[in-house]
Amino acid sequence: MQVKSAILSNSLPTSLDAIELPRTLPPIVLIAFTRPEFVVQLLAALGNQTLKPDRIIAYLDGARSDRDEPKIQACVDLLNDFSGQIPVEIRRRTYNLGCDRNTIEALTEVSTQYESFIHLEDDVIPNRNFYDRMVRLLTAYKPYPQVFSISAYANFPDELEARIPSDFMASNRVFSLGFAVWSDRWQSLDLICSAQNYNPFLSFATIPANLQTKYTIVNQFFIEKNRKIDWVITMTLATLERNYVHIIPKRSFVNNIGCGHPDAKTYRNGVPDWINQRYCPNTQPDSLPATLQPLHGAQRSLKGTELIQHFRKSGGMWLNWLEAVALWKYHRNWRDRMAIGAFLIERLPTLLRRWRSGLPI
């Protein structure tokens, strides 16, 4: 079912401080595994919240080998000790599902038990206002079915900075670093029954391109070419196809500490400069956007020349013939088509090298 795009509305909430807290608070769904040194920091942050949740549901994936068992048990011990402050329900897997499948199954299971929930991974450390702000956001946007999710993490092109008039904005891009969703909207995607590399647009080249989604397109490119999976990108594309939007902040009120860890799924070589660029440890965002229309324009608002320029800056990208044709279909201006053709020829050596090595092209 397609969700109609929102327009400027006088009925939209304007202030989080004016939103009353619900009688029933949503649980925090915590995904942990083999990083007790992160879990202890996360639990300390949760114990310091201005508003504390009634319940934490912690999912721990099964061990990949015997070496994982002591670390997983250390996480379990920390969670049990913490349950004196906030009740913790521990749900352990009997075998290893992998990060992506474990998360999708966890969120789908919780969605059958609660009206909404807030998701945290063990390396995402919230500031003390996090839970209060997320609960109020879930309450504020519950009447607006075109809003799929809420995020505490800020990431957007620098050129948008001056155009954001409030503490939050609507976006076509999802961020899972401090992420909340209503159960019926989560279930509408049916990710539990979808392939883990599901892309409703079939290829990275046919994903609608704007200032935000151009980063999703690059992520999907590397997923396709390296035969990887990423539940967040899959969710992003599924919501984009259905015209959902997401509420994201201008300043992050979560801090990612997982980069560089040997058990990290991505960014094992260190912390990228941009990852916590917009983090503010004391922020208590309040003002809400006057529109649910994304500031970065319509779904297909980037010219072909702009998209190719982004591909060049991203490094390591190329096009095969079918992907170039797909881009030509959407970009009929001769300058756009020339840029696409030039990029196809320019990166032909990379494509041929991978083809000779038996790698996906």
Same structural domain, 67 and 192: yes
Q: By the 8 A CB rule, do 60 and 32 touch?
A: yes
Q: Compute the distance between CA of residue 355 and CA of residue 360 in angstroms, rounded to an integer.
A: 7
DSSP structure string for 302-360: S-HHHHHHHHHHH-S----HHHHHHHHHH--SHHHHHHHHHHHHHTHHHHHHHHHTT--
Give residue for tokens 């961020």. Answer: 175
Same structural domain, 48 and 191: yes
Q: 58-72, 157-171, 224-238, 270-284 — which is least confidently predicted?
A: 270-284
* Residue 9 pLDDT greater than 60, yes or no: no
Instruction: List, edge to edge, every strand of the sheet that includes 168-171.
Output: 88-92, 56-60, 28-32, 116-121, 179-182, 147-151, 245-249, 168-171
| Residues above pLDDT 90, as percent of the chain | 86
Same structural domain, 79 and 183: yes
> How many angstroms separate the Cα of 88 from the Cα of each of 28, 56, 108, 204, 304?
9, 5, 19, 40, 50
Same structural domain, 180 and 322: no
Domain assignment present for residue 12? The answer is no
Same structural domain, 330 and 206: no
Nearest C-alpha neighbor of 319 from the set 352, 293, 291 = 352
Same structural domain, 206 and 74: yes
Domain assignment present for residue 275? The answer is no
Same structural domain, 228 and 90: yes
Last residue of a domain, one of 218, 237, 256: 256
Question: What pLDDT band is residue 17 in, cutting at 50, 70 and 90?
Answer: very high
Same structural domain, 98 and 176: yes
Q: What is the pLDDT of residue 259?
A: 66
Domain assignment present for residue 89? The answer is yes
Tens of pLDDT, residues 284-312: 999 999 999 998 776 788 999 999 999 99
Domain assignment present for residue 75? The answer is yes
Q: What is the pLDDT of residue 274?
A: 72
* Residue 268 pLDDT greater than 90, yes or no: no
Domain assignment present for residue 68? The answer is yes
Checking phi first, is residue 7 left (phi over 0); if not, alpha (psi -120 to 50) or beta? beta
**Mean pLDDT, residues 119-136:** 97
Tens of pLDDT, residues 26-72: 999 999 999 999 999 999 999 999 999 999 999 999 999 999 999 99
Q: What is the pLDDT of residue 350?
A: 94
| Residues above pLDDT 70, as percent of the chain | 93
**Mean pLDDT, residues 237-245:** 96
Query: pTM for this one?
Result: 0.92
Same structural domain, 245 and 309: no
* Residue 157 pLDDT greater than 80, yes or no: yes
Same structural domain, 202 and 123: yes
Query: 263 vs 2, which has greater pLDDT?
Result: 263
* Token pair for 121: 């991974």
Q: What is the pLDDT of residue 1?
A: 44
Nearest C-alpha neighbor of 225 from the set 213, 217, 236 = 217
Question: What pLDDT band is residue 2 in, cutting at 50, 70 and 90?
Answer: very low
Nearest C-alpha neighbor of 346 from the set 316, 315, 318 = 318
Q: Compute the distance between CA of residue 324 and CA of residue 344 in angstroms, rounded to an integer.
A: 7
Domain assignment present for residue 7? The answer is no
Give residue for tokens 């508003």. Answer: 51
**Mean pLDDT, residues 335-350:** 96
* Token pair for 156: 């957007």
Same structural domain, 68 and 174: yes
Question: What pLDDT band is residue 195 in, cutting at 50, 70 and 90?
Answer: confident
* Residue 265 pLDDT greater than 60, yes or no: no
* Residue 103 pLDDT greater than 80, yes or no: yes
> For position 161, which CATH number holds?
3.90.550.10
Q: What is the pLDDT of residue 8?
A: 45
Could you tell me the residue range of the domain that residue 189 belongs to? Answer: 28-256
Q: What is the pLDDT of residue 6?
A: 43
Last residue of a domain, one of 223, 256, 289: 256
Question: What pLDDT band is residue 130 in, cutting at 50, 70 and 90?
Answer: very high
Q: What is the pLDDT of residue 7?
A: 43
Domain assignment present for residue 139? The answer is yes
Domain assignment present for residue 70? The answer is yes
Same structural domain, 211 and 118: yes
**Mean pLDDT, residues 202-208:** 95
Q: By the 8 A CB rule, do 185 and 117 touch?
A: no
**Mean pLDDT, residues 340-355:** 95
Last residue of a domain, one of 196, 227, 256: 256
Q: What is the pLDDT of residue 126?
A: 98
- Total tally of structural domains belonging to the chain: 2
* Residue 160 pLDDT greater than 80, yes or no: yes
**Mean pLDDT, residues 336-353:** 96
Question: What pLDDT band is residue 4 in, cutting at 50, 70 and 90?
Answer: very low
